[in-house]
Amino acid sequence: MSKRLISLHVHTWRNRRNSWLVEGNLQVSWIRRRDLHVLTVGRFTYTSDQRFQAIHMDNSDLWMLQIQYPQKRDAGMYECQVSTLPKISRFIALNVIVSKASIAGGPTLYLNSGSTLNLTCEVMESPVPPDYVFWYHDARVINYDIQHGVSVQTEKSPRTQSRLLIANAQPHDSGNYSCVPSNAEPASIVVHVLNGENPAAMQHGKHPSAAMCARSAPFTLFAVALCLQVCSRRR
């Protein structure tokens, strides 16, 4: 049996297509190696997980395994097997990368009333910049809240940064702030604008945690499709 190992790194939101070229009237099977589960044989699917699907176009030598909405648990080894004599197999090491945002200075920030609130969010582990980055104050989008002194500057690059500025911050600007990129998990920080209070004393008081507030911020999950395929010709 001919074998070959290929490493594949994909993101949870990104489409990926490689191809397995199989000449002739042959049967192609896809197997998940961690539990030896036969996912597909030909065009038939043998798993209750509807995210998996074999794709083959008529009169084509191209076979694909598609995984919709790839998740971290999908990482691992996959085998593509062709019914030749001897059999041909290709092994694929799949690593699923989750893009995420991070806000500098978290999880809690204190500043004096009248100061400028300056928050910087960085999008990490993302091969392409996000389409947008939304900022939330509690559950409200504030990107365009110019009349309240809000300014958002986003620089798209391999490490996209988005900066939120609020001039002359007041106690009513306190609360949870969330950075929500289009292609990454959000990040949150709890901000306290002090009006003569002692920050050390406030830390012993009760305030909503960043984790709890982050869950209240809307986050759009984009549908994605991941295709696992391999290139090979029958010998």
> Is residue 47 one of the residues assigned to a domain?
yes
> Is residue 235 one of the residues assigned to a domain?
no
Q: What is the pLDDT of residue 24?
A: 54
In this structure, are 39 and 9 located in the same domain?
Answer: yes
In this structure, are 123 and 41 located in the same domain?
Answer: no
Say how far residue 26 (Cα) sits from the centre of its chain.
36
CA–CA dist 194, 172 (Å, integer): 10
Q: What is the pLDDT of residue 71?
A: 84
DSSP, residue by residue, 110-156: EEETTSPEEEEEEEES-SS--S-EEEEETTEE-TT-GGGTEEEEEE-
In this structure, are 158 and 74 located in the same domain?
Answer: no
In this structure, are 156 and 207 located in the same domain?
Answer: yes
In this structure, are 115 and 68 located in the same domain?
Answer: no
Q: What is the pLDDT of residue 147?
A: 85
List the one residue out of 133, 138, 135, 137 whose CA is nearest residue 182.
133
The residues, any chain, with a CB within 8 Å of residue 208's CB and separated by 6 or more, are 176, 190
Q: Using DSSP bridges, classify how beta strands 28-32 and 37-41 pair: parallel, antiparallel or unpaired.
A: antiparallel
> Is residue 234 one of the residues assigned to a domain?
no
In this structure, are 74 and 131 located in the same domain?
Answer: no
* Model pLDDT for residues 11-36, shown as the tens digit of each residue: 554 444 434 445 556 788 999 999 99
Task: Give the chain's domain count.
Answer: 2
CATH label of the domain that carries residue 22: 2.60.40.10
In this structure, are 104 and 91 located in the same domain?
Answer: no
> Is residue 132 one of the residues assigned to a domain?
yes
User: Peptide bond before 129: cis, by omega within 30 degrees of 0?
Assistant: no
> Is residue 233 one of the residues assigned to a domain?
no
> Is residue 123 one of the residues assigned to a domain?
yes
In this structure, are 76 and 14 located in the same domain?
Answer: yes
**Cβ atoms 182, 130 nearer than 8 A:** yes
In this structure, are 86 and 131 located in the same domain?
Answer: no
* Model pLDDT for residues 142-175, shown as the tens digit of each residue: 999 988 899 999 999 888 999 999 999 999 999 9
Q: What is the pLDDT of residue 101?
A: 96
Q: What is the pLDDT of residue 224?
A: 30
Residues of the chain with pLDDT under 70: 1-25, 197-235
pTM: 0.62
List the one residue out of 174, 164, 170, 99 whose CA is nearest residue 135.
164
Structural domain containing residue 90: 5-97+223-228
